[in-house]
A and B are shown apart, each in its own frame.
Chain A
């Protein structure tokens, strides 16, 4: 039987070919073995079991041994962070439709710009605007069009309402002072 048809204790990517059957702890009542998500370690099963590949997130109850209080606090934080995303629209000159990103996910300008480059498959000016590439601009709380990068990141996060990736030529007027 091909090794990857066995459910085993290893996480995907680990070389767990030598986990004993003894360690897989076949359960007393075989009909419970399917309920791997809540009941325990998935036992080594036969090939005609409905699960033909190890579930990437096969959860073992109580492992890693972290207090449920700690787990629920972490989950609550993750949830809060996810819910309170700061989504802003991103437009690119010439593109037919806009995108939306959560600026909370980025830890700084360079991280943001790299993500935008990835998203739009272009390259963004970082220093000075020679007019040949794209320049990142944003619309702030007052509705003004500003060049990205002048203010501290925190301030940018709270004042940015919308991002606009301008074609270099149009952005020359926004060139930064020094």
Chain B
């Protein structure tokens, strides 16, 4: 036994506990718990925040058993490609069993953050009634609940600080959920209901804002008119994050003038979003706020012209995070490049989702941004076309990317100038950006790009592939090369059994692998499932017919349409629907 170990054992547990209090990151805490049995023990009793990246990797009982002092839980459910309708409805990811188990075990739950999970009204009701100290509910890309569930939360959670609904599909029963916050509720710090479709009681909203003096973040939905926004801002000039509702009005009216004045008085707003319904001529009201903004999301603002956007951005010299539509155009991105020297994250979303070729950004905009914004480290860019030369320039200009997601609207478009695949361009990105943790590739790509990725992307944790590659070699390069890979999702690419089965142990070091419309067969999936009992290998059928039907149809030599595999400590899940077959 080494000197160090005996010295550390000399410290009473309370001291270790205190030391561990300073560890906030999950990774640090996970690492600490692996050092020795006593550290594992101290750590587990002191951990209050737990993050579970795949809700089916463990179960509620194990969670509660290991971390009895749990106060804050983050859970993620469906695979990422569920966002794009590739996962059938009812696949799973229900939160109810977790809430039920924690309620039964009298966990003192204070915070719950869920992403891509199914949240029923019953879950919300149970949540609201079971945890007297509940403070914070954050739901991102979830579904399954209605405003009735929200009413339960509002009515029962006496100390609620945060209700943050981001991009959820909510069935709006047009009830009075907002009016359910009792008059005694003054604790709200953050309220975001931007994704709700129905009207709220604006009088109740105004009163709520007036009595919650600690309110810092407020995001309204599109039914809240500008007149009400103006009144709210007068009541809450201390806000630092604002999501406007509707932002259209006659710019010559008295209401608009009052709004302008109210906004001038909001010295603390650092983050601005909303504009779900906007008249470009009303935008000047926000110019005074723009000078101190660090985050701006205009990606839901329909119909703003490029010059209106450019004029607005011209005022945003301190912006660090910008989400915008491609209607800004390459020219508008040039304005961003010249103005936003603090920019770290840029997302350019497509405005023309159904048509053909009305997209207004090309590789030029991206190059301009890379040249003008030295702090850029995260990008999501939907564009009409791309070139290797542009990507090589971007790679040279911005070696600090941690997230790089490029999406060409035509998934297999080649280099617009040379007609070559975009292998060299992405190769330059991975070679230059040594800290890259997330990458999405698109455009015409051969196995070569995966050779580069495997060779250079040493820190890569998440990789998204679509319509790319020529053979199993491509996938093999990635599996063999990217040592830190956690999530791999592949669609419509010619990778098959040889790649899937070459290093089965690798999948236990990863969170999950998704493969759809590839060349893997049922037989190979069965082999994998048999050899690796700590993986769940799920075959998801297209038709929501019975599993029996699905199984009978498929022969071992048939290709599997959708396969999702993930490591797990708890075996096949018990809530799988008929169309999901766990091998």
Contacts and interface: CB of A to CB of B under 8 A. Distances in A.
Interface in B430-481: 440, 444, 464, 466-467, 470
A152 B302 CA distance: 22
Most buried by B among A18, A78, A80, A154: A154
A122 interface: no
Contact of B141 (A14, A59, A67): A67
Interface residues of B, number: 55
Given A39-B542, A81-B303, A9 B410 contact: yes
A30 interface: no
Interface in B343-392: 349-351, 353-357, 382
B349 A70 contact: yes
A11 B410 contact: yes
Nearest to B464: A65
B167 A69 contact: yes
B412 A9 contact: yes
Given A41-B517, A152-B252, A62 B491 contact: yes
A27 B558 CA distance: 10
Interface residues of A, number: 48
B402 to A, nearest CB: 20
A72 B431 CA distance: 38
A174 B456 CA distance: 73
A117 to B, nearest CB: 22
A72 to B, nearest CB: 8
A50 to B, nearest CB: 22
A76 B133 CA distance: 38
A68 interface: yes
Given A14-B413, A73-B300, A154-B251, A66 B84 contact: yes
Contact of A62 (B85, B195, B444, B542): B85
Most chain A CB inside 10 Å of its own CB: which residue of B302, B412, B467: B412
B303 A68 contact: no
Nearest to A15: B419
Contacts of A115: none
A16 B169 CA distance: 37
A25 interface: yes
Contacts of A10: 410, 412-413
A92 to B, nearest CB: 29
Residue in B251, B354, B409 with the greatest tally of chain A CB atoms within 10 Å: B354
Nearest to B301: A77
A31 B356 CA distance: 28
B68 interface: no
Interface in A49-83: 56-57, 59-78, 80-81
Given A63-B84, A64-B382, 15 more contacts: A11-B356, A13-B356, A19-B412, A23-B467, A41-B492, A57-B354, A57-B355, A64-B350, A66-B349, A68-B85, A69-B141, A72-B169, A154-B250, A154-B251, A158-B250
20 contacts: A9-B410, A12-B356, A16-B413, A19-B444, A20-B470, A22-B470, A23-B412, A25-B517, A28-B559, A60-B411, A63-B466, A64-B382, A65-B84, A66-B350, A67-B83, A68-B85, A69-B169, A73-B276, A78-B302, A158-B250
Interface of B: 81, 83-86, 141, 167-169, 195, 197, 250-252, 276-277, 279, 281, 299-300, 302-303, 305, 349-351, 353-357, 382, 407, 409-414, 419, 440, 444, 464, 466-467, 470, 491-494, 517, 542, 558-559, 561
